Amino acid sequence: MRPISNDTVLIIAGPTASGKSSLAIKAAEKYDGVIINSDAMQVYSELRVLTARPSEYDESIVPHKLYGTLPATKNCSVALWKELAETEILACWQKGVLPIIAGGTGLYIKALMQGLSEIPQVSEEIREEVISRRNKKGAEAFHDELRRFDPKTALKVDLNDAQRMVRAYEVYLGTNRSLSDWQESKPTKAPFKANYQIVILDPPRDKLYKKCDQRFDWMIKNGAIDEVKGLLSLNLEPTLSAMKAIGVAQLTYYLSHEQTLDIAVSEAQKMTRRYAKRQLTWFRNQIIQCYRVNEQYSERLSDEIFSKIVI
């Protein structure tokens, strides 16, 4: 095995259900690597099934970091993830092993590579005012308001994503400056300097959507309903990030007898497909310098992919 460079980071990214985790495991086996999670939902310990987190068997094959690291009672911000990921990368380099960033949260990857603007904290009073405003107006009207002063953020955020809409609205009220403007300003948290080798899985949309549907069916058969029961038993605030995982709301409606299981599954599958579509668009537009694989990952692609990686 060739020695690992002390400044190399391998990034394996792409939309949900594209095969990132399987490719990351193959890469970790080949290069003596450690897989570092960059999925915003897979950081929560209570969400293994609904986030398709690597199984205990997967974790026994190669080391995995930042999976199930935080309790659902805590929100994982981009800044917090960046700090945790940098610590894990440095630990890999010290041990002479390859850090492999794997996941589909583009903002996490972008923050690591390009840095992060320090957005001022907003007072609790403003946040409560914004939450109250959204509750009174409803999601659609609130989203329309957000679009007036921050059209870039409104375009990227689904109207049902209460947390991100509230965050964008409160930043504007608290700083008189849009969230997108803050994000596009010169970073105050510096980029992490590394030799980034980037692989983006970019499969055809129809095949990806089919895989999304199949995976949620698998989740139902493998404990997703019990997982949501466990999450609900914690009586968490609905604004917490973990409560926004796809499938939580839909299965909650099923458990409260507000809709059938078939409808819950169908709605969750539809949301997953929409999420995958946004991820496809983001990675195509935001990360240009990479090796792009226009197929769903399978083992037969491994040799070709690895031939493009310079470690």
d(CA 138, CA 143): 9
Q: What is the pLDDT of residue 204?
A: 97
% the chain with pLDDT above 90:
69
Is the pLDDT confidence value at 13 over 50? yes
- CATH for 8-116+187-307 is 3.40.50.300
Is the pLDDT confidence value at 270 over 90? yes
The DSSP call for residue 189 is B
pLDDT band with cut points at 50, 70 and 90 for residue 87 = very high
Q: What is the pLDDT of residues 43-82, one digit of tens each?
A: 999 999 999 999 999 999 999 999 999 999 998 988 899 9
Is the pLDDT confidence value at 28 over 50? yes
> Hey, which CATH number is domain 124-184, 1.10.20.140, 3.30.565.10, 1.10.10.10, 4.10.490.10?
1.10.20.140
Closest Cα partner for 36 from 93, 92, 100, 80?
100
Q: What is the pLDDT of residues 219-228, one digit of tens each?
A: 999 999 999 9
Helices (H) and strands (E) in the chain, counts: 14, 6
Across 288-303, average pLDDT: 95
Q: What is the pLDDT of residue 182?
A: 81
pLDDT greater at residue 183 or residue 41 = 41
Measured CA distances, 106 to 78, 96, 110, 113 (Å): 10, 27, 6, 11
User: Any idea where the domains of the chain sit in the sequence?
Assistant: 8-116+187-307, 124-184
Kindly report whether the global pTM for this prediction surpasses the value 0.75: yes
Tell me the CA end-to-end span of the chain in Å, nearest whole number: 11
Is the pLDDT confidence value at 122 over 90? no
Across 240-263, average pLDDT: 96
Alpha helices in 256-300 (DSSP H): 261-286
Please name every residue paired with 10 in a beta bridge, in sequence order, or none if there are none: 100, 197
Query: For all residues of the chain together, what is the average pLDDT?
Result: 92
Is the pLDDT confidence value at 1 over 60? no
pLDDT band with cut points at 50, 70 and 90 for residue 307 = very high
Is the pLDDT confidence value at 183 over 90? no
Cβ 10 vs Cβ 27: under 8 Å: yes
d(CA 185, CA 84): 23
Q: What is the pLDDT of residue 139?
A: 87
pLDDT band with cut points at 50, 70 and 90 for residue 4 = low
pLDDT band with cut points at 50, 70 and 90 for residue 301 = very high
Cβ 305 vs Cβ 291: under 8 Å: yes
d(CA 240, CA 27): 33
* Extended strands (E) in the chain: 8-13, 33-37, 64-65, 98-103, 195-201, 291-293
d(CA 100, CA 96): 13
Q: Which residues of 266-276 are buried (b: 16+ CB within 10 A; e: fewer)?
A: ebbbbbbbebb
pLDDT band with cut points at 50, 70 and 90 for residue 3 = low
